Amino acid sequence: MHDRVTTQKVKKKAVESSVVRSAGQVEGVKSQLWRFTFTGLSASLVGIGLARFAYTPLIPAIVGAHWFSAANAAYLGAANLLGYLTGAVVANVTAKRLPAKFVLRAMMVLAAIAFFACSRPSSFVWFFVWRLFSGIAGGTLMVLTAPTILPHIVPSKRAIASGAIFTGIGLGIAASGTLVPLLLRGGLTQSWIGLGVLSFVLIVLTWNGWPETTPAHASSSHHLSHVRVDHRIFALFFEYALNAIGLVPHMIFLVDFVARGLNQGINIGAEFWVLFGMGAIVGPILSSHLADRIGYRRALPLVYLLESGAVLLAGCPIPSAWLIVSSLIVGAFTPGIVPLVLGRIQELLAHHPSLHRKYWTRATVAFALSQALSAYGMSYLFSKTHNYSLLFEIGSVAMFLAFAVNFLTASFTRSPVSNSH
What pLDDT digit, counting tens, does each position of 152-165 carry? 888 888 888 888 89
Least confident stretch, 62-71, 150-159, 215-224, 395-404: 215-224
- Which residue did the predictor score with more confidence, 245 or 386? 245
Question: How much is the pLDDT for 229?
Answer: 65
pLDDT at 414 over 60: no
Residue range 34-208, CATH number: 1.20.1250.20
Question: How much is the pLDDT for 119?
Answer: 92
Q: What is the pLDDT of residues 25-61, one digit of tens each?
A: 445 566 788 899 999 999 999 999 999 888 888 888 8
Q: Which of 132, 301, 326, 176 lies closest to 247, judged by CA?
A: 326
Q: Are 308 and 396 in contact (CB under 8 A)?
A: yes
Q: In what helix (H) or strand (E) does residue 6 lie, and over which residues does it extend?
A: helix 2-44
Q: Three-state SS for 318?
A: coil
- C-alpha 341/C-alpha 146 separation (Å) is 12
Q: Three-state SS for 309?
A: helix
Q: What is the pLDDT of residues 168-209, one digit of tens each?
A: 998 988 888 888 888 988 999 999 999 999 999 999 999 999
- C-alpha 404/C-alpha 150 separation (Å) is 30
- C-alpha 98/C-alpha 90 separation (Å) is 12
Q: How many CB atoms neighbour CB 120 within 10 A? A: 12
Please give the average per-residue pLDDT across 258-275, as a whole number.
Answer: 84
Q: Same CATH topology for 34-208 and 229-412?
A: yes
Q: Are 370 and 244 in contact (CB under 8 A)?
A: yes
Q: Are 138 and 84 in contact (CB under 8 A)?
A: yes
- C-alpha 345/C-alpha 224 separation (Å) is 16
Could you state, in order of their start, the residue ranges of all structural domains in the chain? 34-208, 229-412
Least confident stretch, 109-123, 234-248, 266-280, 334-348: 266-280
CA distance to 16, 37, 188, 237, 325, per residue, from 23 (Å): 11, 21, 51, 42, 44
- C-alpha 73/C-alpha 70 separation (Å) is 5
Which phi and psi angles does 416 have, rounded to 5°? -50, -45
What are 228's strand-pairing partners?
A: 418
Q: Three-state SS for 349?
A: coil
- C-alpha 106/C-alpha 204 separation (Å) is 12
CATH architecture of 229-412: Up-down Bundle (1.20)
Which phi and psi angles does 419 have, rounded to 5°? -80, 135
Q: Three-state SS for 229?
A: strand
pLDDT-derived band at 139 (thresholds 50, 70, 90) equals very high
pLDDT at 274 over 90: no
pLDDT at 18 over 70: no
| % of the chain beyond a pLDDT of 70 | 86
pLDDT at 235 over 90: yes
Which residues fall within 8 angstroms of residue 73, CB to CB, at 6 or more apart? 59, 62, 63, 67
Please give the average per-residue pLDDT across 311-325, as a whole number.
Answer: 86
Q: Which of 104, 114, 86, 102 lies closest to 141, judged by CA?
A: 104
